[in-house]
Amino acid sequence: MSKLGRIKNIIIGIAVIAMSVFMLVFPDTGYYMATLILGLVLLIDGIKQFLYFFSMGIHMIGGKTILYRALITMDLSFFILSIRGIGQRYMMVYFVIYYLFAGIIIIFRAYESRKAEAGFWKGKLVNGIIKVAVAIMCIICNNSPDVMLYLMCFGLMISAVTRIGIALKKTAIIYIQ
């Protein structure tokens, strides 16, 4: 990971911790801010994917996949930015579904890393299991919005600390002669 990537991951981790603390202190405003931030991040990511597609991806094999991913990301960002008037309970449903699928994908990637005999698969597996467990606990406790909020903030903080830990971890540099 480059120095700029490390700094970016540390800043994102700190921002996620701050957002989850803000959600705990001000739940009504916190949900709105979380959806606004998520929508803007997805919008920026979609624009970056479009720019990448039109600058390089159009000439690549499989470049249409980049275009499709950009379209889906932009559509999701527009959807998230347009639903700010709905209640907190529905926002938690979207966050829980997102969190559940993110955890499942991390678990699958950990098993792929294990097959490739990479040494960092255990940390990914634990992170994915924690995300899935938090999402399942939120689904079980869906009658209590406060418990769902505490669980989701706990999960976000764990993810942020993991991101910061990965950014601070030294990586081996392999030189080819």
> What pLDDT does residue 167 have?
83
Angstrom distance (rounded) from CA 168 to CA 149:
28
Identify the pLDDT of residue 152.
78
Q: Which residue has the tokens 């991390």?
A: 106
pLDDT (0 to 100) of residue 47: 92
**41 Cβ contact partners less than 8 Å away, ≥ 6 residues apart:** 77
The reported pLDDT for the residue numbered 14 is: 92
Q: What is the pLDDT of residue 112?
A: 86
pLDDT of residue 85: 63
Residue 83, both tokens: 């639903």
Residue ranges, the chain, pLDDT below 70: 1, 84-89, 118-119, 172-177
